[in-house]
Chain A
């Protein structure tokens, strides 16, 4: 029960001063090796290393890793197919649609961005429950498709690669059919039915009428790019036993589930071939395919985006060169820790080096690396370590009313990193005490009211965390005194109630990491991202709890790719449960 609750979206209902049953699991024996690193591999502690943030490999290629992801990290009792999550019709996100067009049309220009309505964030962009089809969507798709096809047709070499054959003449039916068959399979993510081939081949007649083979191609492409099977991920599956709501995903459905979860893009030819050959009908086959896919650059992009959406730094409150530098810093950390060196996931929060260019180093008051592209450095400020020491993190929910708010920062840590919900003040609570406090008083004194009476229980869970991060402003810059109050020196002492004390983001990261507090939230959010649903039902929560339980002995060494491979190859994820119409 204790571990089960760990995985649930903990709601600190009563704010009794301690986190409710199971909210914190003490596991000091599983301390990560944090900032020790391996200098021989350019690891933490090394001041040298690459001058580029990532592996620099082209999209769609694999990055050599020391070992390959094979999963096998989730132990515990079997999770049967009957625990399959509910799945519904999922529209591709704007990013996914652009990725698909990049693969299909060899067009890296994000053709739909700007034309399609923005996806809502919940916090992820793929919550199908929030996807209401609209005129903005359908008209946007129509225009995006037309523009992308027009550009393709103007680029003869690219056009020829996409079409795949050179017509002998305007009426070359064989070439047209070959194009329809091959392109259609990749676009619709399954081999076209004979009826579909016939239907799409009719476009060639318009090409013939217009005396232009490529007119037919153009029209067929536009129809493919607006096709329901491309725009949506429809899963049906085959019925299982006597349960009318339980279905086993077919191979091609599994291929799409794999590719969009692991790549944020459609299946490649190899994956579709595996699916059509029956290889994705077994857990072993799915595991093998997922292992291969996690080595692809697209998986890195996906994992980076997943974290950005989860933690809320996807769009940062800055602009220009600084914004670019901040994004590069965080992406570099992800790429190096999770992929290039395949370190335990929790090292994201303790890693010793960070990737900065001159702009960001100046922003952080660090020695300039003398490099506009950036370099790995060990920050001279020992409080700045891992993701929590980056401007990306400090930009999330940490400020209010013109300065950092210890309450908001503590709330953000609880909510985003620990998946805990601190309830709002109960009815009738007046917050006047804080606002009416002397604005020239030091912050600790101004927040004193939070430590008294009925406020103390909830604020004790938040404010001490925020005070431990006060030595950094809302943009991640160090400071010794409070904003507007130079006489008020900041101690930076903080506490994670019931776990321990800390000073600064490095110690907070290590504290949470060593205590094993972060992985349950990772599992929960990864699950949401995978199923494309924010709201989790009872079955979801049971499954998430079971997975979290299964990580008991592997948390400290857990690698993100292994977790993702295990997740997609599990029985529940190879099945679906039919959504009940409300």
Chain B
């Protein structure tokens, strides 16, 4: 899966904005939005929030977890625990990136947040690599991956799954009789 497709999914998350225009309720296929009144916060999907922001029609209110103190706590916890800790949003990385790139003037301490989220991401990816390594060296057949986000899975998907398949082919060819014509590639 392309990272941009994960980002596409993240853009469906809801975020609060303060519009500076007024508009009646909109009846979208995926649900109703609005009504929009200047100064009154309203929930919209991120794709719409960013579009309005780019046209300077609203102010984005960052989600609650996008806060230096909360993220610092998370970072400490993530470094202390051996397992993956629960993340505040299944798309935390994508949302941080999208909101900070397009609406950084509405988010207090944007730079600090960027660094913190990157730190959390790096810690988690390091853990992910370690567990992928032990998964392979112990030849496990099942793993539980709670609290992993789609973007994190996506960073190792192609490489990890292909290597597992490759090893499976090699191994099944080692055992005579179990090798079928199933894997003969052109």
A binds B: no
Chain A interface residues (CB < 8 Å from chain B): none
Q: Chain B: residues with CB nearer than 8 A to chain A? A: none
